Amino acid sequence: MSPASGTNLASNKNLHARRLFDPIASRYDLLLEALTFFQNSHWRRFLISRLHLEPHHRVLDLCTGTAGVAMAMARMHRCSVVGVDLSEGMLSRGLQRVRAKGLEHRISLVLGNAETLSFSDGQFDAAAFTYLLRYVDDPQATISEIARVVKPGGRVSSLDFFVPPNPAIRSLWNFYTRWALPLATRPVSPGWRYVGRFLGPNISSFYHRCTLEDLLAAWRGAGMVDVQARTLTFGGAVVIWGTKAP
Ligand SMILES: C[S@@+](CC[C@H](N)C(=O)[O-])C[C@H]1O[C@@H](n2cnc3c(N)ncnc32)[C@H](O)[C@@H]1O
């Protein structure tokens, strides 16, 4: 893991994200799968499928965390991946996992901030970002920054949780995120207890401020074309993808 020069972790949201993720890194992968009812790996495969990756591609994986998306890309498509995250705890765990799978020749992990990337324009053939925009001050500026480092014609995709649009499913989702998730995470650790209480209200308030239509407009405003979105698992997650204008 190497620190990117000029990494700026100064905003309150950056510090909050780091404090949220540093303490939960060791059990993150197991609990992410269990708490999403094993849907996360299905969402991840769909996210990666939108990128049309080739073995010669150099791909940016933002919010790489414990490198789950980066490892899936490298294994499935034999491409090279640069993973960026601002949590040292998540990246250290990611590095262990990359080494355990013998993927260090394909994946490099860098400490950095997705809002101010230390890469020059058009360096990557494709980029993915997962669960990012709820942790930044300015989603539009962040999407523009990600588009900047992708080559014209390169593809970008994103994955995040979503609030189910169907009212009946949304009631179940509200019950799960406001009652079951806090109860299920309470015995795990203080860090997980905090995550369990924080996540549901954080997802709801994000989509209250920023609708899916706003996000699609932000992608187009960042110079992306053919922008599309698909909700998955009854609207519990959303994948957005597009192509940087040639
Ligand atoms: C829910 S985890 C996702 C990890 C991984 N991509 C996955 O799908 O399992 C979100 C990650 O985003 C990182 N993060 C939050 N804000 C960020 C920012 N501004 N720049 C880079 N990483 C950020 C956190 O440190 C955390 O590791």
Complete domains list, the chain, with CATH: 2-158+211-244 (3.40.50.150)
From the CB of 14, is ligand 1 less than 6 Å away? yes
From the CB of 64, is ligand 1 less than 6 Å away? yes
Q: Degrees (nearest 5) of the Cα angle 148, 205, 41?
A: 65
pLDDT digits (tens, 9 = 90+) for 209-240: 999 999 999 999 999 999 999 999 999 999 99
> What value does the mean pLDDT take over residues 96-120?
98
Is the pLDDT at 105 greater than 90? The verdict is yes
Average predicted confidence (pLDDT) for the chain:
95
Rounded to two decimals, the pTM is 0.95
The radius of gyration computed from the CA coordinates of the chain, to the nearest angstrom, equals 17
> What value does the mean pLDDT take over residues 11-39?
93
Count Cβ atoms within 10 A of the Cβ of residue 128 and give its class: 0-12 exposed, 13-18 middle, 19 or more buried. buried
pLDDT at 6: 41
pLDDT digits (tens, 9 = 90+) for 38-97: 999 999 999 999 999 999 999 999 999 999 999 999 999 999 999 999 999 999 999 999
| Bridge pairing between strands 107-111 and 2-3 | parallel
pLDDT at 10: 61
User: b or e along 40-65 (b: 16 or more beta carbons within 10 Å of the residue's beta carbon)?
Assistant: beebbeebbebbebeeebebbbbbbb
Q: pLDDT band at residue 11, thresholds of 50, 70 and 90?
A: confident
From the CB of 114, is ligand 1 less than 6 Å away? yes
Q: Specify which residues 126 forms β-bridges with.
A: 59, 155
d(CA 142, CA 218) in angstroms, rounded, equals 10
Ligand 1 centroid, distance to 67 Cα (angstroms): 10
Question: At a CB cut-off of 8 Å and minimum separation 6, what does 108 contact?
Answer: 2, 81, 82, 83
